[in-house]
Amino acid sequence: MAIDPTAFERYRRSPNEKTTLPRLIAGTVIVAVCWLVITMAVVFAGAYGWMLTGEDEVLTFDGGNPLERFLTTSGGLFATLATFAGIWLGVWIAMRLLHREKLSRLFGNSARLSGNGFLKGFVAVVITSLLTELGYLLITPDVGRGPVEFGAWLLFLLPILLLAFVQTSSEELLFRGYLQRGLAHRFRSPLIWAVLPTVVFTALHWNPASVLGMNIGVAISIGAFAALLALLVYATGNLGAAMGAHLGNNLVGFLFISHDDALGGLALFRGAPLTALDWTPAQTAMIAGISIASILATWLLLMHPRSPLRVTPDLG
């Protein structure tokens, strides 16, 4: 399935003359600072308020200090997702002050997100993510009911959907929009404009507290998924499909079955935390293989000419 580069060629040529490498670096620094400031403000304020209430709700996983324990609660999940508003703020500041462009120019050639692409990306990844979980059950069959009651889960469903959109869309805005578009404008080689943001995105998910096997498996899985998102932007010239796919992937982990101690406070089901497994090379290979197979299936759903979920390019 050959990809027509027309849409991305228009997308990469859309920045103005102020999109230079020094300005991209400065803009990235602005984003990092805004993200850090918002994170500190939201997380510490949330943890402080949680401690003042004197409530010690049932945690998804065993916690350590009060801040770590707060992050495993439903309130901690809300706070964690809300911190990503700092990326939106930082990218907006960088676009307006450094590049003199509207933020909407990052959305696509039409200067707006493709709603059709967003929906198709979301549906495709929800399907393949659920199939991936079935594969994980072959490795870690220990799955139990999560701590949240179904009524509370329904009550928190809409806020989590909105905050999860803030989190996933902010990452796409930065890595597949601001960086990929800006670097592609200055450099022709995909090793720079596609691989570099993908490597940085993957590296940010490295957990030094986890065993090496787990980190390798996760790095392969996340790296392959990030490559899929970059290809979706390349194929469509729009962030819509990538944002929808990213949201679908994360919502399965936030709301359905979680393997993460810090983001599983509202999941209906709780799987064995992947960070706690003493991974063998065989398990690492199986996790990576399942993830890659899932990503290939997602690619087929979104790009095959006969697929009802096939995305279309944004030509402006």
What single-letter amino acid sits at 258?
S
Strand, helix or coil for residue 19: coil
Q: Is the pLDDT of residue 277 over 80?
A: no
pLDDT confidence bin for 212, thresholds 50/70/90 = confident
Q: Per-residue pLDDT averaged across 263-277, rounded?
A: 69
Give the integer Cα–Cα distance in Å for 250 and 152: 19
CA-to-CA separations, 43 to 27, 62, 79, 88, in angstroms, rounded = 24, 19, 6, 17
Give the integer Cα–Cα distance in Å for 217 and 302: 25
Give the integer Cα–Cα distance in Å for 33 and 27: 10
Q: Is the pLDDT of residue 207 over 90?
A: no
- Name residue 236's beta-bridge partners: none
For position 181, what pLDDT does the model report? 97
pLDDT confidence bin for 269, thresholds 50/70/90 = confident
What single-letter amino acid sits at 204?
L
pLDDT confidence bin for 58, thresholds 50/70/90 = very low
* Residue where the block lists tokens 């359905």: 256
- Average pLDDT for the chain: 86
Give the integer Cα–Cα distance in Å for 88 and 101: 15
Find the range with the poorest average confidence among 93-107, 109-123, 136-150, 155-169: 136-150
